[in-house]
């Protein structure tokens, strides 16, 4: 059984103070939920809020993620933050290869592979994002594009490390648009990603790796998404910025699990 993950990617939002009050409120809200059926809840604030948020995450029920990292450990790399520094702050996940980083900051598959290796070497979990543009989808290139992103990201990584990694399938046309990918189609692409993982790393890694869906996930969409066979959770942008929405998504995930187990 793969434990579901609900991860909130705050992107460039919230001051330190806002991040801290959000986290306090989220903790209170999660306390009322059934501990045994909680998914792994992950929040990814901006770099500058990581210390303060980490200090108040006394409970194990919320984990901390960074939105990016650099692959070198230290040196003359102005403006960058290393994996070890993020680990020291309490991050247990790091999001890499988000389409916004690929699009606005020219990140390549090769850079994402270097980041994934550095993260895994530090015993942290990478959340590796992939996804197609609308044009690629319309031209029938979705599967080949995503397969090549995944193969490049996982190049040279051991089976054990691949098994504990996380992938997020995020169709670019669904991010921040309110237009969610149909859950049957999202599940089909995620199954295809699992087959690619099996091809490069074997069945045990493919069975273990958690693959999330991202792109306009809301409290009203999560239940249907989580009842699909291969969707192991969600990477949430806009709806992770309000406690009531994010808590609603966590609750929907719990509900869907109960339905699946029944
Ligand atoms: P969205 O963003 O939920 O606002 O569509 C998702 C993401 O970019 O991870």
Give me the pLDDT at residue 88, please.
Answer: 97
pLDDT category, 36, cuts 50, 70, 90?
confident
Give the mutation target among 214, 219, 220, 234 for probing the ligand 1 site: most ligand atoms within 8 A of CB.
Answer: 214
Is ligand 1 within 6 A of the CB of residue 170?
yes
Q: Would you say 159 and 202 are in contact if contact means Cβ atoms under 8 Å apart?
A: yes
Give me the pLDDT at residue 259, please.
Answer: 76
Alpha-carbon 160 to chain mean position: 19
Which atom of ligand 1 is least distant from the CA of 175? Answer: 5
Hey, what are 53's tokens?
């948020």
| Identified catalytic residue from 40, 100, 107, 170 | 170
**145 catalytic per annotation:** no
**pLDDT over 70, % of the chain:** 99
Which atom of ligand 1 is least distant from the CA of 168? Answer: 9
pLDDT category, 257, cuts 50, 70, 90?
confident
Question: Picking from 53-67, 158-172, 174-188, 212-226, which range would have the lowest pLDDT averaged per residue?
Answer: 53-67
**pLDDT one-digit tens code per residue, 177-191:** 999 999 999 999 999
Domains of the chain: 5-261 (3.20.20.70)
pTM for this model (two decimals): 0.97
How large is the average pLDDT for residues 38-63? Answer: 93
Is ligand 1 within 6 A of the CB of residue 103?
no
Which atom of ligand 1 is least distant from the CA of 11? Answer: 8
Owner of token pair 């306090």? 24
**170 catalytic per annotation:** yes
Dihedral of CA atoms 200, 167, 131, 72 in degrees, nearest 10, equals -90
List C-alpha distances in Å: 176 to 67, 232, 237: 17, 21, 7
**pLDDT one-digit tens code per residue, 193-211:** 999 999 999 999 999 999 9
Give me the pLDDT at residue 92, please.
Answer: 96
pLDDT category, 127, cuts 50, 70, 90?
very high
pLDDT category, 35, cuts 50, 70, 90?
confident
- In this model, does residue 114 exceed pLDDT 80? yes
Give the mutation target among 166, 211, 216 for probing the ligand 1 site: most ligand atoms within 8 A of CB.
Answer: 216
- In this model, does residue 255 exceed pLDDT 80? yes
List C-alpha distances in Å: 46 to 6, 13, 26, 75, 258: 18, 7, 17, 22, 33
Is ligand 1 within 6 A of the CB of residue 214?
yes
Give me the pLDDT at residue 152, please.
Answer: 98
């Amino acid at each position: 059984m793969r434990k579901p993950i609900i991860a909130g990617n705050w992107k460039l939002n919230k001051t330190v103070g806002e991040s801290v009050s959000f986290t306090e409120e989220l903790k209170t809200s999660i306390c009322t939920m059934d501990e045994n059926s909680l998914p792994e809840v992950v929040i990814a604030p901006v770099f500058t809020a990581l210390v303060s948020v980490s200090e108040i995450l006394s409970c194990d029920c919320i984990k901390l993620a960074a939105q990016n990292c650099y692959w070198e450990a230290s040196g003359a790399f102005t403006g960058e933050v290393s994996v070890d520094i993020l680990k020291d702050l309490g991050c247990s996940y790091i999001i890499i290869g988000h389409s916004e980083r690929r699009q606005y900051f020219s990140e390549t598959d090769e850079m994402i592979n270097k980041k994934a290796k550095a993260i895994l070497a530090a015993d942290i979990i990478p959340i590796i994002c992939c996804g197609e543009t609308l044009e690629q989808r319309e031209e029938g290139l979705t599967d080949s594009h995503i397969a090549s992103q995944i193969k490049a990201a996982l190049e040279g990584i051991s089976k054990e490390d691949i098994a504990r990694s996380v992938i997020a399938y995020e169709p670019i046309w669904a991010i921040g648009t309110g237009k969610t990918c149909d859950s049957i189609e999202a599940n089909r692409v995620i199954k295809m990603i699992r087959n690619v993982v099996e091809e490069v790393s074997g069945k045990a890694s493919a069975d273990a790796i958690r693959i999330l869906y991202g792109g306009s996930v809301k409290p009203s969409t999560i239940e249907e998404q989580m009842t699909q066979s291969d969707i192991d959770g969600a990477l949430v942008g806009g709806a992770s910025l309000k406690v009531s929405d994010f808590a609603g998504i966590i609750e929907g995930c719990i509900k869907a699990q109960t339905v699946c187990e029944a």
